[in-house]
Structure 1
Amino acid sequence: MVLEEEPLPGNWKLFKLKNQQGMEVHMLNYGGIITKILTPDRHGKLENVVLGYRKLSDYETDPYFLGAMIGRVAGRIKEAHFTIHETRYELEANDGRNHLHSGSHGFHQMMWDAEPFEREDNVGVKLRYLSKDGENGYPGNVEVAVTYTLTNDNELVLDYWASTDQRTPLALTNHSYFNLTGDMKGTIHDHLVKIDSQYFAELDADLIPTGRRLDVAGTPFDFNRGRKLGEGIAADNAQNELAGNGYDHYFFFHEPEQKKAVVKEEGSGRTLTMETNQPGMVMYTSNNLENGLVLSEGAAEPYSGVCFETQGSPASLHEKEFPRIVLDPEEEYQQRTLFRFGVDD
């Protein structure tokens, strides 16, 4: 196991985690951003399987949250407000009239304290941040720790922990865009995805959940037996069209703490398996990614990557039937998401 630390301007640090199989994960203390994940294809060739900027300084003004740690609340909060104990909290409306990914000064733009570690069978970095009462409109002082661990089994494990001194919403996730073709050689249309989910959240025209859970059966949202993402991107389905011809929807998992999603890319042979104790995830197929955006492997286009944002749902702040995200002072927030990379022969 190898850990390299590279100092950058502005107190930024770039950490490079390397295991004995040759896999690498590159990440910043700024925003907890994953900039690269290098994994082998079926021939052993190492290539980057996430989207990242060629110039690291572009992360400061990134409207797409590439690879970033999202908090306090990932996703959209309807009409940029919520109520706890009859107190209404007003938030920044940075997505039309709604609040997206905690506003323009969320965790994705914060400098985190970093504690790197090297062990016999894994290597990683633990990030810590204190989000003060009133930050971005949210109540409570919230202590947050996120640990990135790379194992010798080609697993990247994200462990989330937090505590608060006031009742407050909390829904953390990582916003990496995966592309298993390697070095962005193609789009994600032919990525075969399997998701353990029977229901997804219906969206309105503002991409806010309506409160209705829709059955995936007989729709482009049924991934239980595997489906190529391109089928949904091209589908004549009102929900796919609302999202910009693709997916930007919350999928409810059947049971927690099991294998929840598997992705396969036939050309490279790469596979990605996700396990989590989160109740669901948003799958986003980069429908609105800007054409020509300069990334580390070339120019981006829509559908250059797919996000698997494992999390609770911010819709629960307005809809009772959605997975709860409010954290109480007597509770600890403890969540884990594991990404296991492999190959099919």
Structure 2
Amino acid sequence: MKTSPLKSLLLIAAAALLLAPPAAAVEVDDFDSIQLYTLKNRSGMTVSVTNYGAIITSIVVPDRNGKMADVALGYDRVEDYINAVDRPYFGAIVGRYGNRIAKGKFTLDGKTYSLATNNNPNHLHGGNIGFDKVVWDAKPIEGQNAIQLSYLARDKEEGYPGNLQIRVTYTLTDDNAILVDYHATTDQATPVNLTQHTYFNLKGEGEGTILDHELMLNADRYTPVDATAIPTGELPAVAGTPMDFTQPKPIGRDIDQKNQQLEFGRGFDHNWVLNKPDDNKAMTLAARVYEPTSGRVMEVHTTEPGIQFYCGNFLDGRLIGKAGNPYVHRGGFCLETQHYPDSPNQPGFPSTILRPGKTYQTQTSYRFSTR
């Protein structure tokens, strides 16, 4: 492929480490088709993506002094993604329904559907074999610094109704933003809630905890949960609670307060209601994160109404990252743009039902800078 210093580069690599046979357990029928794709822009930022799980495997960005580091948690080998302990969903697209559905059941148009209960009593991130555990079709987009991944989720796959055709496009811009565009159509009514599950550490993956990162969430309300992490249906104000990130504060400042919601999530693992009208599908600032030692900043914009902030409460040092360092407790955070958890069972929440003839279309951007 011809490249020019004046144009962004799309580097395509069938990386040997990502093509080693899997070590155990999970079978992948078309293992030989797994590829690694690397996007690179004019400033030197790179984003690597594999078509297994549509996973972002690395994000390499500069600090305030120009030093590059990989800020996305993950692995060097595909078998580690396939067989990861506790299934952390590093870097993956999750669905058909990202987040939880209570007791693995929902009723749609008078019919009740049963899903896998793979998260204690509830359904999480699409089930036993969600979109993070399948091989997607992938192709570079001609003339763009982008990779398009597609997958057909068939009727009754993981219990969901309808043949759902999904397309996710990752684009790397020259101003250091990753654009994630989601597109889906269906032949039967079905719930859809896709999200991107990268864990970030702006100091660099494996470089300790994220408790000193300063976070702002553009959200005056959130969705409190019960002891099984299912929303209660209420939308209370964050003001006066540890859930208030309307002004930037270190993630660790309030995380150990005696608070029932923090106890239920073992820390922050909740959906925040973004400050926008329910029917507003314009891109909106959702979050901003600043890491003081490196100076790295990440801003998240989205068309979605909510964002799940999770701070690695279940990481415990057993998982070893790309630099050989253990991923310690609270060693990464996720900012998953989404509709609210359990929306198919919550009539007061914005609908997640996609019907034939309609198109599911959302966009999220992760933009990196320094200060």
Q: In which range does the TM-score fall when normalised by the shorter chain?
A: over 0.9
SS in 1 for 2:135: coil
Determine if contact 2:208/2:327 at 8 Å carries over to the other structure: no
Query: Is 2:36 the counterpart of 1:14?
Result: yes
How far 1:324 moved relative to its partner? 1.4
How far 1:118 moved relative to its partner? 5.2
Gaps of 5+ in 1: none
SS in 2 for 1:299: coil
Question: Take 1:272 and 1:131, find their aligned partners in 2: how far apart are those partners?
Answer: 32
Taking only aligned residues, the RMSD between alpha carbons, in angstroms, comes to: 1.2
Determine if contact 1:28/1:34 at 8 Å carries over to the other structure: yes
TM-score, structure 2 normalization: 0.90
SS in 2 for 1:160: strand
Instruction: Return closer, same or farther for 1:98/1:183 CA change in 2, 3 Å cut-off.
Output: closer
How far 1:302 moved relative to its partner? 1.2
* Structure 1 counterpart of 2:209: 187
Question: Take 1:184 and 1:266, find their aligned partners in 2: how far apart are those partners?
Answer: 17
Alignment of 1:252-291 (within 5 A): 252-255=273-276, 256=280, 257-291=283-317
Amino acid at match of 1:271: V
After TM superposition, the structure 1 stretch with the greater mean CA deviation from structure 2, 284-293 or 332-341, is 284-293
Aligned length: 341
Amino acid at match of 1:318: N
* Structure 1 counterpart of 2:10: 3
Question: Take 1:184 and 1:118, find their aligned partners in 2: how far apart are those partners?
Answer: 35
- Which structure has greater strand proportion? 1
Question: Take 2:187 and 2:106, find their aligned partners in 1: how far apart are those partners?
Answer: 18
Determine if contact 1:232/1:247 at 8 Å carries over to the other structure: no
How far 1:293 moved relative to its partner? 1.2
* Structure 2 counterpart of 1:92: 116
* Structure 1 counterpart of 2:271: 250
Amino acid at match of 1:38: V
Query: Is 2:244 the counterpart of 1:218?
Result: no
Gaps of 5+ in 2: 1-7, 21-30
Instruction: Return closer, same or farther for 1:327/1:13 CA change in 2, 3 Å cut-off.
Output: same
Alignment of 1:194-233 (within 5 A): 194-233=216-255
TM-score, structure 1 normalization: 0.96
Question: Take 1:154 and 1:187, find their aligned partners in 2: how far apart are those partners?
Answer: 24
Query: Is 2:103 the counterpart of 1:79?
Result: yes
* Structure 2 counterpart of 1:59: 81
Q: Which whole-Å deviations, capped at 9, do the CAs of 1:205-227 have from their partners, x for residues lacking one?
A: 11111111121001111111112
2:125 to 93, 98, 101: 101
2:321 to 295, 315, 323: 295
Query: Is 2:352 the counterpart of 1:330?
Result: no
Determine if contact 1:2/1:118 at 8 Å carries over to the other structure: no
Question: Take 1:306 and 1:17, find their aligned partners in 2: how far apart are those partners?
Answer: 23
